[in-house]
Amino acid sequence: MNPRHTTAFSVHLHHIGSNGLARPSLFFDCFQDAASEQSALLEFSIRELMERGLTWVVSRYRVKVCRYPRWQERIRVTTWRSPP
């Protein structure tokens, strides 16, 4: 299986700041959701791991923002797993 996972997200109204652009926290929420999707695809979902008394964490973020999106735009997020 590919170690990278890419998914798209819509920018919702609650992600938008007073300047009409997405707040930086949007990206971290999306990374967490994308990582959760990828772990489920790898059969390591939080639910499955909790049953064994385990979990996973996002250990590093690398964010490259070319421009901040506006409401209803879509962004792409790529995550990748690394060895423990």
pLDDT-based confidence at residue 24 (cuts at 50, 70, 90): very high
Report d(CA 8, CA 78) in Å as an integer: 9
The predicted-structure confidence for 45-70, as pLDDT tens digits, reads as follows 888 889 999 988 888 888 888 999 99
**pTM exceeds 0.85, yes or no:** no
Q: Judge contact between 71 and 16, C-beta under 8 A.
A: yes
| 3-state class (DSSP) for residue 22 | strand
Q: Which helix (H) or strand (E) holds 50?
A: helix 46-50
pLDDT-based confidence at residue 1 (cuts at 50, 70, 90): low
Q: Which helix (H) or strand (E) holds 19?
A: none
Nearest to 23 by CA among 32, 12, 31: 12
